[in-house]
Amino acid sequence: MNLSRGHFAVRWSGQVRTVPENCRFVLLILRRAVLQKVHRLC
């Protein structure tokens, strides 16, 4: 897989997409994952 500079491959719903490293979309996914873990502990 040839990826552009500052990009990385992400698998989403069975599809591989190339997104920028500073993409807010990735941050949102990480936030959701953390929030879910926190809610489970509560």
The pLDDT value recorded for residue 2 is 55
In angstroms, the CA 13 to CA 15 distance is 6
The pLDDT value recorded for residue 22 is 61
Cut 0.85: pTM above it: no
The pLDDT value recorded for residue 37 is 86
Per residue in 1-42, pLDDT tens? 555 555 566 665 666 666 665 667 778 888 898 888 888 877
The pLDDT value recorded for residue 40 is 82
